[in-house]
Structure 1
Amino acid sequence: MSAELEFGLDTFGDVTWDAEGVPIPQARVIRNLVAQGVLAEEVGLDFIGVGEHHRADFAVSAPEIVLAAIAGKTDRIHLGSAVTVLSSDDPVRVYQRFATLDAVSNGRAEVIVGRGSFTESFPLFGLELRDYEQLFEEKMELFTELLTQKPVTWSGEHRASLTDQMVYPLLESGSLRTWVGVGGSPQSVIRAAHYGLPLMLAIIGGAAERFAPFTDLYHRALEKFERPTQPIGMHSPGFIADTDEQALEQLWPHYEAMQARIGAERGWAPLTPEHYREEAGPHGSLYVGSPETVAAKMAAAIRALGVNRFDLKYSNGTMPHEQLMRSVELYGTRVVPLVRDMLAS
């Protein structure tokens, strides 16, 4: 497993604070994100994913442009979304943007399509939430047709039909690595298998082991649909510092504030220090601590689920850029080698 295993980073472009606790402009957040992507390559990571949001606490609404900026300063690291909210986008434009990113990055583009965990894009682009399921089904069907690089004939209720339509630019390699992001729905797992696309599990609460039935379902569904074996990845939040206590103390105020802000919108109970420590423990979804602690927890999750890629969601609310850079550095230089050693043994 270790020879095929990839390690990535994900960020939503959270608006961060400076050293004095003052929010920095969104433009500077985006420039800092580019620097984080460059560092990710320098420390040997395989992938960086940038999320799409349309609200004040996240700076990135056009991930492909940010990824193209990173592409211009790197040579090896793969570049993708985390996730592309396909339901509220146009599949033709999504294909064209990522095909263009693939060209300028010399074949390093990936896309993770999903429905997203926020819904601000629906009213922004004139869509109705009552069409949530049908929008994704239709647009997923069209997008997978576009990936074939052949003339597309398609019709649906929420987009103009296409008849024998070629869409450009063509992909130089003939394929675009496309993952389906899944938060916890068996139907979404089966959908990914139906289209024969890699599966990315967003594990943001509780133990990774509870997702083992999903990986089993995915393998069985691929077999049923007579699809070839595909990679499985997992995405979870975390933060790395030199010691466990330093990591826990630095992350807490930013993570707690983020949970409170989003929780107020969704009716969540306030995050307590006890719950925070539980999620940061061996059976939670937070990969926070020293390199040794995080590596041990990651290795256990990778073994339990048999995943081929681990993406650490390293941005956590208002955490300063300098702390994020240190976390990225430790992840690439310390955590990843430790995990590979643990799995090899």
Structure 2
Amino acid sequence: MPSPIPISRLLPRDIYPSLDFGICSSPLTKHSHGSTLQVPINRHHGKAASRLWSSVIHWKELRSAQPVGSGGFGSVYRVEYLGEIVALKKVKKCTKNKLASRQSFWAELNAAHLRHSNVVRVIAATTCVPDDFGDDSSIGTILMEFVGDRNLQQIIYGCPEPLEVDRWLRYSADILNGLRFLHSHSVLHLDIKPANVLISSQDICKIVDFGCSLKVDSGCEVSTVSRQLSHVGGTYTHRAPELLRGEAVSPKADIFSFGITLWQLITREQPYDGERQHVLYAVVAHNLRPSVHNNPVFETELGLLCKTLLSQCWNADGTCRPTAKELLLHLERLRSHI
């Protein structure tokens, strides 16, 4: 198997200026002993779950690929790999904006070195694809744990059964626990929404799809280049107003997106009506937010507390929004009112 191609073949040096451009499949890990990515592997166990993420995919070990979903990002398949069921994601090349699509692929790996029960685990990723597996439209391939084929979007809008308070509180806590962990490791997701939260067979939420994410410096200060890249992609209905204005990025952008997601969990309605550009302008210029008025859900004692919590998440000033850790404490207080 050939070595992964150098990142310098994909991205200019000014995108990731602090990196060693050696033989490396990801720009995320810098080693004092050299520029080659060293991936620890427990060779006493052949299972994918025993590995840290690898820069090599053993293509001959892939079996039984079944399509799970596709979109602008590419395609996802359910496959067997080293005796386990995993998800294979082929990241699509964007012909209109090649730089953005390449940056999206590397962003997918911003949390690859992290392990948490509420974040989908990356097993392996590479830009090297054999001829019999690849095609010209693919930038790279990522192997991840297979959580299932249900996401929170489907639970909210596609399931006939009621979404009880204790259930959406538990889902919300799962998302916040994942965000608290990511933020503690200086990773910003920047595209939190129901479609990017998978539901496991144990009914646990796991955050997925890091194509818009950023790995920020200590103290969550970002470079000018990172700020520019953070405005590529994302979902306008969940985008924080400071990102829409092109301002600095912080973990509080994820809190805004969580607030929209929480509102969807509570109401099971779409956050906005109207055309995209009108919504974008109104969110920034007129403080437009999903409606909490004339809705009986928000007229109970619990609903009034939820309304206050949402207003904090949606604050136009990001510095005034609570942290994920603080929101978890608020959820505990809400639970006491069930």
Same fold (TM over 0.5): no
Q: TM-score, normalized by length of structure 1?
A: 0.29
1 or 2, which has the higher helix percentage?
1
Higher relative contact order (CA 8 A, sep 6+): 1
